[in-house]
């Protein structure tokens, strides 16, 4: 997605060979216009999949998911990272290990919002090692729903998540694929393939 690549080039900050900061449009401040385009792009790619629900993880997955849900006319459910007073009844949960933080967290979704009649599109802001997406997939499995695919705003292709998820048979659609962050520069996968 050209508009997203341009935004990353213009405003992304390479913090290390591993980490890209995009706080000006995705992870802290949010660019609604860009998010609307992101939503249209995901919707276009998954429009024939009969999506009935979008599943994401709080907090940065919510904005792109809501814009996609608007386009696909499907509600958005976000998994919670911490327990909530009102999150009661049947809970679908998964353990998600973060390599960055070196800790395991439980994510949870109420069974009220996901069931075996659903066809689910999983969306997240970043794909690094794929643990968050796998946790979301586990929650969908527990609900009895089907997974139609996984939509990622920014995939860091030099980390293992994309390979892992595709090897498991998931359709993964990433709007920007970063091959390298070495030498302080963002190198997109498409640029080297072309
Ligand atoms: P890991 O697999 O590499 O260990 O990372 P993990 O999925 O545990 O991600 C930890 C958090 O860091 C996630 O956000 C994820 O989206 C984010 N993340 C991973 N790589 C990058 C990166 O290069 N740049 C940025 N900006 N974020 C990255 P989170 O803690 O769930 O926070 P939230 O923003 O969704 O609230
Ligand atoms: Na994040
Ligand atoms: Na995230």
pLDDT confidence tier of residue 194, bands split at 50, 70 and 90:
very low
For residue 193, pLDDT beyond 70: no
DSSP per residue over 148-161, as a string?
A: EEEEEEEEETTSSH
Distances (CA, A) of 175 to 32, 122, 145: 16, 14, 25
Q: What pTM was computed for the model?
A: 0.95
Mean pLDDT for the stretch of residues 38-52: 98
Around ligand 1, the residues with Cβ closer than 6 Å are 19-22, 27, 59-61, 98-100, 125-126, 128-129, 131-132, 156
What percentage of the chain has pLDDT greater than the value 70? 97
Mean pLDDT for the stretch of residues 129-145: 98
User: Which of 32-36, 82-86, 103-107 has the weakest average pLDDT?
Assistant: 82-86
Cα-to-centroid distance, 97 and ligand 1 (Å): 11
Prediction ipTM score: 0.92
């Amino acid at each position: 997605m050209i508009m997203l690549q341009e935004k990353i080039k213009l405003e992304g900050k390479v913090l290390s060979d591993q980490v890209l900061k995009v706080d000006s449009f995705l992870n802290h401040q949010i660019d609604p216009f860009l998010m609307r385009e992101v939503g249209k792009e995901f919707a276009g790619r998954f429009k024939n999949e009969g999506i009935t629900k979008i599943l994401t993880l709080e907090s940065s997955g919510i904005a792109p998911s809501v814009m996609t849900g608007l386009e696909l006319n499907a509600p958005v459910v976000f998994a919670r990272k911490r327990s909530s007073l009102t999150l009661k009844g049947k809970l679908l949960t998964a353990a998600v290990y973060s390599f960055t933080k070196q800790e395991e967290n439980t994510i949870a979704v109420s069974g009220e919002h996901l069931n075996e009649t659903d066809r689910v599109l999983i969306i997240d802001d970043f794909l690094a090692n794929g643990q968050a997406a796998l946790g979301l997939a586990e929650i969908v499995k527990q609900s009895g729903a089907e997974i139609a695919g996984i939509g990622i705003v920014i995939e860091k292709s030099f980390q293992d998540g994309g390979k892992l998820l595709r090897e498991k048979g998931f359709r993964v659609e990433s709007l920007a694929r970063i091959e390298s962050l070495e030498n302080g520069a963002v190198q997109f996968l498409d640029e080297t393939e072309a």
